[in-house]
Structure 1
Amino acid sequence: MTSSGAAASFLTEPHILDLFAGPGGLDVAAKMLGVPSLGIEWDKDACDTRYAAGLRTWHADVSEVRRKRFAELPPELNVLAGGPPCQTYSVAGSGAGRKALDKVEKLIHDLVDGVSEEELDDRLEAMGGDPRTALVLEPLRYAIKALSCPERGKRPFDVIVLEQVPAVKALWEVYKKALEKGLPREDGTRVKYNVAEVKTLHTEAYGVPQTRRRTILIARLVEHGVPRLPAPAHHTFNLRKPEQGSPEDTQTSLPVDGSSAPLRPWVPMREVLTDREPPFEIVSNYGSGGDPKNRGIRTYRQPSFTVTGKVSRNAVRHHPNGRDLDPDRLTIREAGILQTFPPDYPWDGGDQSQQVGNAVPPLFGMHVLAAALGMPLPPEEKLRESWGRLDRTDKKYEELRLEGCEAEGGCGSNCPKPEDQASSSTSAATSRPRTGASAKRSAK
């Protein structure tokens, strides 16, 4: 779990505040880049994983930290990142957020026009509906709050990085306009950002051995120049032409940004699930084409399906001599590897399928953070190295847990209440959702 200091960036010492941090996808990416981070995570299970992984964490509600503890955040934090809960925006979710897009868009404009926190909370309460819908506003509220916090010198965040499901692209476009217009200071002046094109990216184009799409926003203070999205390094996967861009494809093409380096093949499951002897195939837990009985299938020669919170339900079938054996299931370790976590990443706590499925793939996060911070990428293979685990009796583990919960031997007064920490058997409808990207157990 060692890392060198951050490589050259336009920021002398970047430090990341990761909202809705989940089990650590973005923080693992940051550590690979040599950048320190602090994650805020609501879910105790995800925090257990983070402590075991040696990741600095506050076990807390993002909204409560903004309201009551913002001044306690380390002043060196100058990069704001996060993946707010996306279940209400997701195609697989209830869709409450999609129906409220126009209302949330107006609230974004209200924030930039200087509406008070109290008035905004009143408007959110009047809206009703799923409370997770409002959490997409938290990164903007943090960015504005920084401008009036004397303990932080009223300094803005230098860089803002956000990720979400494609359904939130319209809101990120509104964010872009708001950041370019400028965030309001108390004296009436505005802090303006340059924002890259808001775009939905395919994770397999960045070496992740699964097809997954995430919409990215990258913003920098105007004095730091204009940011760009990360250039793809691999082909995307086309289910209609599964050989195109594969390791067996002899054709090459150039990246969309016009650079001279050819795109590498997308990464098949067989390349990373090395403990499974091919041939094998993954049968999705979800139906395709609107038919729940029509389960999709990916072979060992292809990238996996999107790793979701129900990944452990995906069946794995082997075909010796053309005949099926009884299928088994993907393990948590294998699901983590498909997400590009190190092979021995220390998954801990309960509901580990949700933890894995809701995390940002670290390799994808590395590309996004490197582009946002203007830093070179380490080799992709670095994420396949051993990570290590902190035992609960280790001094470092206890130090991390004590900082995260502010109490000896358990949760403190700032931690979410135990009754709000839904177990894996509790319905998401009755639990307080908190995370994506990013975090997030019931939130994506």
Structure 2
Amino acid sequence: MIVDLFAGPGGLDVGATQLGLEVNGIERDPSACETRRAAGLGTVEGDVRDFGPADFPEATDLAGSPPCQPYSVGGKGRGRAALDTVLQLAGRLAERHSIRAELGGFDDERTGLVLEPLRWTLAAKDSGRPFQTVVLEQVSTVLPVWEAFAGILRAEGYSVATGRLSAEEYGVPQTRVRAFLMASLAREVRFPEPTHQRYRRGAARGQVELGLLPWVSMAEALGWGMTDRPALTVAVGTAAGGPDPSCVGGSGSRATLYGERDAGRWITDTRLTSVGLRAYRGGRRDVIRVSVQDAARLQTFPAGHPFRGTETKQYEQIGNAVPCLLAEHVFAAAFGLARPEVVASAA
């Protein structure tokens, strides 16, 4: 069984369960916990810092996607500013020193949460019941932390791979780049091979390497929107320090959407009067909004995934999640399982 730290609404966990893996997730946000329970996902409501491997004796593997807001380029950057301190604390954990006192010194308490997966992994190792597989995800700027973890875990006997993966290379209809760490005591780990072409602006779609499918466009996934490119990264809500995904990101994202629409590389949403695209007259142009259901689709959640809470909380859950299809590919590689079936479109 996998114990998933900072489990959210289940992005990682849906990917794992698609492969037949069992997951129990720790999450402290009540709305995300309601979502998980409604989806039938194992859920422990609480703070990851209050638990450890001894509380989950049945867990053989670890996953985690710590809060990204302190490290995100869309946030205030407190985590990025404290990166050197985080790396020093990782070294102290490797030496089996307590860092609890130092964690209280961060301006944003979420900054130090990125160290929790390392604490759990080392504690499990010291208990004589080490996690066989570890899978971690974060925004790209956290890659130096994963690389530091990699050095520590290799010294503990793990095979480790770190790097950045771009979601559209695995059939996700979204250009989302994230940093991953995969570690295993049971096998030599390698990142999953891409199944789809990487999106590059101006590059002709379909001119791809042998065996790769074209990236999936926003319009193919939703039935409306941009026809010549995937959607932009679905970001987290304003309450978490980033752009509101109901408008598909900030000003740069809006400019891309409007530019594609004005250029005719666009399919209009026929559900304009219900859900999906909503147009509000304001200023010189309409505001393009994406419904909760469509934002979830761009993150490759299964149709009907039962998001709970206010609309804002649902957007936050979706924006913070790992795309389910990308998670499935990563878990398949980490556990040595057959990769997900490759399809030509997410529609």
Residues 318-329 of structure 1 mapped to structure 2, 5 A cutoff: 327=286, 328-329=288-289
**2:229 equivalent among 293, 302, 327:** 302
Find the counterpart in structure 2 of residue 342 from structure 1. Answer: 302
Q: Is the 8 A contact 1:367 1:377 kept in 2?
A: yes
Q: Percent identity?
A: 43
Find the counterpart in structure 2 of residue 141 from structure 1. Answer: 119
Find the counterpart in structure 2 of residue 361 from structure 1. Answer: 323
Q: Distance in 2 between matches of 1:106 and 1:330?
A: 41
Q: Are 2:112 and 1:163 aligned?
A: no
Q: Distance in 1 between matches of 2:66 and 2:264?
A: 47
Query: How far 1:319 sits from its partner (Å)?
Result: 7.3
**RMSD, aligned CA:** 2.5
Q: Letter of the 2:234 partner, please give it.
A: V
Please list every run of 5 or more consecutive structure 1 residues that lacks an aligned counterpart in the other structure. Answer: 1-14, 183-191, 255-261, 281-298, 386-444
What's the CA shift string for 1:168-195, capped at 9, x where partnerless? 111111001111122xxxxxxxxx2111
Q: Distance in 2 between matches of 1:377 and 1:76?
A: 26
Query: How far 1:137 sits from its partner (Å)?
Result: 0.6
Q: Is the 8 A contact 1:363 1:380 kept in 2?
A: no
Q: Is the 8 A contact 1:97 1:133 kept in 2?
A: yes
Q: Is the 8 A contact 2:8 2:33 kept in 1?
A: yes
Find the counterpart in structure 2 of residue 418 from structure 1. Answer: none
**2:58 equivalent among 60, 76, 79:** 76
Q: Distance in 1 between matches of 2:332 and 2:22?
A: 14
* 3-state SS, counterpart of residue 233 of structure 1: coil
Q: Distance in 2 between matches of 1:264 and 1:229?
A: 18
Q: 1:371 to 1:180 in 2, by over 3 A?
A: same
* 3-state SS, counterpart of residue 174 of structure 2: coil
**2:110 equivalent among 112, 132, 145:** 132
Q: Distance in 2 between matches of 1:123 and 1:38?
A: 29
Larger radius of gyration: 1
* 3-state SS, counterpart of residue 31 of structure 1: helix
Segments ≥4 residues shifted beyond 4 Å: 315-328
Structure 1, 224-233 or 306-315: larger mean CA deviation: 306-315
Find the counterpart in structure 2 of residue 257 from structure 1. Answer: none
Q: Letter of the 2:5 partner, please give it.
A: L
Find the counterpart in structure 2 of residue 232 from structure 1. Answer: 194
Query: How far 1:380 sits from its partner (Å)?
Result: 5.1
Q: Is the 8 A contact 1:161 1:217 kept in 2?
A: yes
What's the CA shift string for 1:26-56, capped at 9, x where partnerless? 1111111011100101101111111111111
Q: Letter of the 1:336 partner, please give it.
A: A
Query: How far 1:300 sits from its partner (Å)?
Result: 2.9
Q: 1:336 to 1:71 in 2, by over 3 A?
A: same
What's the TM-score, normalizing by structure 2?
0.84
Q: Are 2:220 and 1:271 aligned?
A: yes
Q: Letter of the 1:195 partner, please give it.
A: V
Structure with more contact order per residue of length (Cα contacts < 8 Å, sep ≥ 6): 1
What's the CA shift string for 1:260-314, capped at 9, x where partnerless? xx1110001121213x4xxx4xxxxxxxxxxxxxxxxxx2331001001211124
Q: Distance in 2 between matches of 1:338 and 1:138?
A: 29
Find the counterpart in structure 2 of residue 399 from structure 1. Answer: none
Find the counterpart in structure 2 of residue 105 from structure 1. Answer: 87
Query: How far 1:322 sits from its partner (Å)?
Result: 11
What's the CA shift string for 1:239-279, capped at 9, x where partnerless? 2x1x43x2xx3x3314xxxxxxx1110001121213x4xxx
Q: Distance in 1 between matches of 2:264 and 2:182?
A: 50
Q: 1:322 to 1:95 in 2, by over 3 A?
A: closer
**1:252 equivalent among 208, 211, 222:** 208
Q: Is the 8 A contact 1:42 1:60 kept in 2?
A: yes
Q: 1:146 to 1:357 in 2, by over 3 A?
A: same
* 3-state SS, counterpart of residue 89 of structure 2: helix
Q: Is the 8 A contact 2:16 2:331 kept in 1?
A: yes
**1:123 equivalent among 95, 99, 102:** 102
Q: 1:376 to 1:121 in 2, by over 3 A?
A: same
**1:201 equivalent among 146, 161, 165:** 165
* 3-state SS, counterpart of residue 51 of structure 2: helix
What's the TM-score, normalizing by structure 1?
0.66
Query: How far 1:348 sits from its partner (Å)?
Result: 1.3
Q: Letter of the 1:56 partner, please give it.
A: G
Please list every run of 5 or more consecutive structure 2 residues that lacks an aligned counterpart in the other structure. Answer: 237-243, 249-253, 269-278
Q: Is the 8 A contact 1:343 1:384 kept in 2?
A: no
Q: 1:384 to 1:345 in 2, by over 3 A?
A: farther
